[in-house]
Amino acid sequence: MRHEAQVLAGARSAPAPQGDLAQALRYGPFARALATAIRRRGLSLSRLRAHLASQDIRIAQSTLSYWQRGLRHPAVPRALDAVRALERVLGLPEDSLVVLIGPHHRAPDLDRRLLTIQELSQSWAPTGALLTEFDGVSGSPCNSDLDLATVFDDVRFTAAGEIEEIASTMAVRARRSGPDSFVVTHQSEPGADVDTARIRAGDGCRVGRVRKQRSSAGMVFELLFDRKLAEGDVHVFSFVLRCTTPVRAPNFYRVIRGRMQTYLIRLYFDPSMLPVRCTRVERAREGLAPTVSEPLLCGPNGFACAYFEGLEPSLVGVDLLWE
Q: Is the pLDDT of residue 237 over 70?
A: yes
Non-local (6+) Cβ contacts of 307 within 8 A are 262, 263, 264, 265
Q: Are residues 42 and 159 in the same domain?
A: no
Q: Say yes or no: 267 and 181 in one domain.
A: yes
Spatial distance between the Cα atoms of 319 and 47, rounded to a whole number of angstroms? 50
**pLDDT exceeds cutoff 80 at 160:** yes
The last residue of a domain, from among 83, 108, 133: 108
Same domain for 91 and 148, yes or no, is no
Structure confidence at residue 308 (pLDDT): 92
Q: Are residues 146 and 71 in the same domain?
A: no
State whether 147 and 208 are in the same domain: yes
Same domain, 91 and 140: no
Based on the number of CB atoms within 10 Å of its own CB, is 323 exposed (0-12), middle (13-18) or buried (19 or more)?
Answer: exposed
User: Torsion over CA of 11, 15, 20 and 22, rounded to 10 degrees?
Assistant: 90
What digits encode the pLDDT tens for the residues 27-45?
Answer: 888 889 999 999 998 999 8
Contact 150, 186 (CB under 8 A): no
Of residues 124 and 194, more confidence is placed in 194
Question: For position 30, which CATH number holds?
Answer: 1.10.260
* Single-letter residue type at 122: Q
pLDDT surpasses 90 at 270: yes
pTM above 0.75, yes or no: no
Does 203 share its domain with 284?
A: yes
| Overall domain count for the chain | 2
Residues 139 and 189 in one domain: yes
Dump pLDDT digits (tens) for 179-194. Answer: 899 999 888 888 778 8
Is residue 105 scored above 50 in pLDDT? no
Q: Which of 74, 108, 142 is the last residue of a domain?
A: 108
Domain that holds residue 248: 117-321
- Let me know whether 56 and 101 are in one domain: yes
Strands (E), 225-302: 234-242, 251-256, 260-268, 277-283, 292-296
